[in-house]
């Protein structure tokens, strides 16, 4: 027994040493790659609770960079992505940003996928005078500092929560819903922002919010609260949140006999949602999203084709598209600024982006560094997202 | 009607807590160690079941048995490697080791597999029975029945078999038991094996009932089960069962009253109140019947 445990200890220690080596190599590899490339950091959720967002964005970034490099790069220089995994945690996102700004000295950081993890690095990017573009951080105040002013170096590619909440509320009103309920994640800025704007818009349109409940991230049992919601007899339930919990909520709601339409936002968008909830339970649910691969628009279909070719026939989801668009948004600003190194000029050019046609819509960056763009409503049918309608701001 | 529905929700949740709590209580009863790695054995059980069902296409019961067997071995390994040499050390040293083992399992597993969640396959066709407006799912019924059966078997093992007698003897007085010719090491290993097997079963139930499993899933249920064990009287087997069910129902009632944010707090308030006013738990007596 003693021998076995000794063996175990040694192997654990040895694994630790190996792990140390691996990460050591990565960093040296990264800093060697300087010179004639333009380095773009990707501070993403490659593992952890929302890994599917981060991985999706990374795939989109890779595709965009491959296309741009194949076409001769920017100003004759190739783009190079430096990915860092923030493990879906705010503190790790901060560390990753510090590494990218100080160690890798990247021109810009794309990331992170969620509002919380993006917020954890806005200050570091701004102090390091490095451009930060979040592909999918949708919290309204993400581009604002603690003093309420716009942070110079922070931008985003996605629309904002209050817009998504409005679209969802209008959609519910159009369905003829009078009584709706809200079931939101109590800790995330994202869910709170959506819930607030949904309620305001829905009530302004004459609807009534009959019940408002909240849940905590990482909960697994929602049955008791859902039983409460059911007894309030809503005709529609708005559930802003992320797919890990929402998947379980949808499943448990259907098991308790709640068969009214359920609606969420871009946080639902993940293949894991379908696995957790079950395709059948997802029928009669809707989400607002950044884009749909089923949109008949020509440029979108071209993107879908290129993506499928690179990733074995996979259909790009919204995170793929946003990651892809973030790179083009940045490159467009570099072109207009006429520089690939002067971060200040690129930042100014980003702020002046106007009518740039991207996959997720025609983007004009406003004075708060938020893009004005359209949203798409999708319906789940047997586990597939089906294009329902497109809503302009 | 709604209250009966909530009660059913609570009992389903509570029976999972109870299964985990049994392992806590048995180990505490015999070596006075709060085995914080127990929640992670529960997690390992859930994943073994997951791979057995999704990977090898086993059915529910074979997967359940496999998970229980693997967890039993795993529990014994933990005891042999980490706790055995600390048997005469201070209790705080053993406790800290238990926390260390727990973290090692959690993050070792994340290192190997990654932290993303997995969705349990639909292994049991779930049917909803509508009884006068109350939804009872066949899954929750099955979970309740199987956990009760497991608890009855446990009761039988502890009170009617030789190894059960040895366990009770060791828990009562380790040295005296040794003098009477009882193999203490085997007995303690058996306790860990049985407790861990029950945790493994709870892991599979959890996966089937709640669908989502991930490497840190054992942390909160583990702590809740600890509360359940203390509530019932730590070291007392029927106490763990009752404590688990009571905790599940209390949590559900708290949520039902509209304080879903306070659900976890309620569990820990119970722990504090029990420790303040009745440290030996609901079933605790001065001269305790242990194991």
Q: How many domains does chain B have?
A: 1
Per-residue pLDDT tens for B118-158? 889 887 777 777 777 777 788 888 888 888 898 889 989 99
The tokens describing B168, both together, are: 């009770």
| B5 in A contact zone (CB under 8 Å) | yes
Chain A positions in Cβ-Cβ contact with residue B110 (cut-off 8 Å): 47
Q: How far apart are CA A197 and CA A205, in angstroms?
A: 12
Q: Is residue B275 one of the residues assigned to a domain?
A: no
Say if the Cβ atoms of B211 and A225 lie within 8 Å: no
Residues 109-138 of B with CB under 8 A from A: 110-111, 114-117, 119, 122, 126, 128, 130, 135, 137
Q: How far apart are CA A337 and CA A357, in angstroms?
A: 18
The tokens describing B110, both together, are: 């994340």
SS3 B212: strand
Tokens 């079933």 sit on residue: B283
| A192 in B contact zone (CB under 8 Å) | no
Cross-strand partners of A134: A156
Per the structure, the complete domain to which residue B90 belongs is given by 2-218
Q: Does domain A36-159+299-373 have CATH number 3.40.50.2300?
A: yes
Q: Is residue B287 one of the residues assigned to a domain?
A: no
| B51 in A contact zone (CB under 8 Å) | no
Say if the Cβ atoms of B256 and A228 lie within 8 Å: yes
Per-residue pLDDT tens for B98-119? 999 999 999 999 889 877 788 8
Q: Maximum Cα–Cα distance for chain B, whole Å?
A: 61
Q: How far apart are CA B25 and CA B41, in angstroms?
A: 15
| A218 in B contact zone (CB under 8 Å) | yes
- Residue in chain B lying closest to A186 (CA): B261
The tokens describing B87, both together, are: 């048997």
Say if the Cβ atoms of A223 and B252 lie within 8 Å: yes
Q: Check whether B204 has a pLDDT greater than 70.
A: yes
Q: How far apart are CA A218 and CA B203, in angstroms?
A: 16
Chain B positions in Cβ-Cβ contact with residue A192 (cut-off 8 Å): none
Q: Is residue B101 one of the residues assigned to a domain?
A: yes
Q: Is residue B187 one of the residues assigned to a domain?
A: yes
Q: Is residue B88 one of the residues assigned to a domain?
A: yes
SS3 A238: strand
Q: How far apart are CA A278 and CA A239, in angstroms?
A: 17
Chain B positions in Cβ-Cβ contact with residue A276 (cut-off 8 Å): 117, 119, 211-212
The model carries a pTM of 0.77
Dihedral over Cα of B18, B19, B23, B29: its sign: positive
Residues 75-94 of B with CB under 8 A from A: 80-81, 84
Which pLDDT score, from 0 to 100, does residue B285 have?
66
Point out the residue among B9, B80, B264 whose CB comes nearest to the CB of A223: B9
Chain B positions in Cβ-Cβ contact with residue A216 (cut-off 8 Å): 260-261, 264
- Residue in chain A lying closest to B120 (CA): A276
How high is the mean pLDDT in each 10-residue block of chain A (393 residues)?
50 46 40 67 89 92 94 91 92 94 94 91 93 92 89 93 90 92 87 92 93 86 89 94 92 91 91 89 92 86 93 90 95 92 92 91 91 90 88 75
| A257 in B contact zone (CB under 8 Å) | yes
The tokens describing B270, both together, are: 């119970």
| A173 in B contact zone (CB under 8 Å) | no
Question: Are the C-beta atoms of A99 and A128 separated by less than 8 Å?
Answer: no
Query: Helices B38-50 and B219-232: crossing angle, nearest 10°?
Result: 130
Distance from CA of B256 to the nearest CA of A (A): 6
The H or E element spanning position A60 is helix A51-70
| A1 in B contact zone (CB under 8 Å) | yes
Chain B positions in Cβ-Cβ contact with residue A48 (cut-off 8 Å): 115-116
| A251 in B contact zone (CB under 8 Å) | yes
Distance of CA A26 to the CA centre of its chain: 26
Question: Are the C-beta atoms of B137 and B128 separated by less than 8 Å?
Answer: yes
- Residue in chain A lying closest to B76 (CA): A1
Q: How far apart are CA B213 and CA A270, in angstroms?
A: 16
- Residue in chain B lying closest to A45 (CA): B116
Contacts of B188 (CB under 8 A, 6+ apart): B30, B31, B79, B84, B170
Query: What residue segments make up the domains of chain A, in order of their start?
Result: 36-159+299-373, 161-289
Chain B positions in Cβ-Cβ contact with residue A256 (cut-off 8 Å): 5, 135
| A49 in B contact zone (CB under 8 Å) | yes
Distance from CA of B286 to the nearest CA of A (A): 37
Pairing, β B134-137 against β A154-156: unpaired
Q: How far apart are CA A62 and CA A70, in angstroms?
A: 12
Q: Does domain A161-289 have CATH number 3.30.565.10?
A: no
Point out the residue among A51, A213, A224 whose CB comes nearest to the CB of B252: A224
Which pLDDT score, from 0 to 100, does residue A283 have?
93
Question: Are the C-beta atoms of B237 and B22 separated by less than 8 Å?
Answer: yes
* Chain B interface test: which of A89, A182, A224 (most B C-beta within 10 Å): A224
Distance from CA of A217 to the nearest CA of B (A): 11
Say if the Cβ atoms of B260 and A276 lie within 8 Å: no
The tokens describing B192, both together, are: 């860990």
Q: How far apart are CA A5 and CA A211, in angstroms?
A: 56
Which pLDDT score, from 0 to 100, does residue A3 have?
52
Say if the Cβ atoms of B256 and A227 lie within 8 Å: yes
Chain A positions in Cβ-Cβ contact with residue B12 (cut-off 8 Å): 223
Q: Is residue B68 one of the residues assigned to a domain?
A: yes
| A48 in B contact zone (CB under 8 Å) | yes
């Amino acid at each position: 027994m003693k021998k076995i445990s000794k063996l175990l200890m040694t192997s654990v220690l040895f694994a630790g040493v190996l792990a140390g080596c691996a990460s050591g190599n990565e960093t040296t590899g990264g800093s060697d790659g300087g010179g004639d490339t333009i380095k773009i950091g990707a501070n993403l959720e490659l593992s952890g609770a929302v890994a599917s967002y981060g991985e999706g964005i990374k795939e989109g970034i890779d595709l965009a960079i491959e296309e741009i490099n194949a076409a001769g790069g920017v100003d004759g220089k190739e783009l190079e992505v430096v990915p860092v995994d923030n493990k879906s945690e705010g503190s790790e996102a901060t560390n990753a940003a510090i590494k990218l700004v100080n160690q890798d000295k990247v021109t810009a950081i794309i990331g992170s996928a969620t509002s919380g993890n993006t917020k954890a690095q806005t200050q570091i990017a701004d102090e390091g005078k490095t451009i930060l573009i979040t592909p999918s951080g949708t919290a309204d105040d993400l581009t604002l500092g603690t003093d309420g002013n716009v942070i110079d170096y922070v931008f985003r590619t996605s629309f904002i929560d209050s817009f998504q909440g409005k679209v969802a509320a209008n959609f519910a009103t159009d369905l003829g819903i009078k009584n709706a309920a809200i079931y939101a994640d109590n800790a995330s800025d994202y869910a709170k922002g959506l819930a607030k704007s949904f309620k305001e818009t829905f009530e302004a349109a004459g609807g009534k919010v009959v019940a408002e409940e909240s849940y905590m991230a990482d909960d697994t049992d929602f049955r008791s609260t859902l039983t409460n919601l059911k007894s309030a007899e809503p005709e529609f339930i708005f559930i802003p949140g992320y797919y890990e919990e929402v998947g379980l909520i949808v499943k448990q709601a259907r098991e308790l006999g709640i068969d009214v339409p359920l609606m969420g936002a871009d946080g639902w968008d993940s293949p894991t949602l379908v696995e957790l909830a079950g395709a059948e339970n997802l029928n009669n649910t809707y989400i607002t999203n950044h884009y749909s691969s089923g949109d008949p628009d020509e440029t979108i279909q071209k993107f879908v084709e290129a993506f499928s070719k690179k990733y074995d026939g996979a259909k790009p989801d919204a995170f793929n598209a946003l990651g892809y668009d973030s790179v083009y948004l940045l490159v467009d600003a570099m072109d207009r600024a006429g520089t690939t190194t002067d971060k200040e000029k690129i930042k100014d050019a980003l702020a002046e982006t106007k009518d740039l046609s991207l996959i997720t819509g025609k983007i004009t960056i406003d004075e708060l560094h938020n893009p004005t763009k359209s949203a798409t409503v999708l319906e789940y049918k047997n586990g597939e997202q089906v294009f329902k309608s497109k809503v302009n701001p | 009607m709604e209250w009966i529905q909530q009660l059913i929700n609570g009992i389903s949740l509570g029976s999972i807590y109870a299964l985990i709590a049994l392992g806590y209580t048995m180990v505490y009863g015999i070596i006075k160690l709060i085995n914080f790695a127990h929640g992670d054995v529960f997690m390992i059980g859930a994943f073994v079941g997951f791979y057995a069902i999704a990977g090898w296409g086993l059915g529910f019961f074979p997967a359940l048995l496999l998970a229980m067997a693997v967890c039993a071995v795993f529990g014994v390994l933990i005891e042999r490697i980490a706790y055995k040499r600390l048997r005469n050390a201070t209790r705080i040293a053993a406790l800290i080791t238990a926390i260390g083992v727990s973290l090692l399992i959690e993050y070792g597993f994340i290192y190997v597999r990654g932290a993303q969640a997995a969705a349990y396959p639909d292994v049991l066709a779930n049917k909803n029975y509508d009884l006068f407006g109350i939804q009872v799912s066949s899954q929750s019924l099955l979970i309740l029945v199987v956990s009760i059966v497991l608890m009855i078997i446990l009761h039988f093992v502890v009170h009617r078999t030789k190894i059960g007698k040895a366990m009770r003897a060791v828990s009562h007085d380790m040295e005296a038991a040794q003098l009477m010719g009882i193999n203490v090491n085997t007995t303690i290993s058996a306790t860990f094996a049985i407790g861990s097997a029950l945790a493994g079963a709870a892991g599979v139930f959890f996966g089937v009932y709640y669908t989502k499993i991930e490497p840190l899933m054992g942390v909160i249920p583990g702590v809740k089960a600890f509360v359940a064990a203390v509530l019932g009287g730590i070291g007392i087997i029927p106490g763990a069962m009752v404590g688990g069910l009571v905790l599940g129902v209390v949590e559900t009632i708290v949520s039902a009253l509209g304080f879903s944010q306070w659900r976890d707090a309620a569990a820990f308030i119970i722990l504090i109140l029990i420790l303040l006013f009745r440290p030996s738990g609901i079933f605790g007596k001065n001269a305790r019947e242990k194991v």
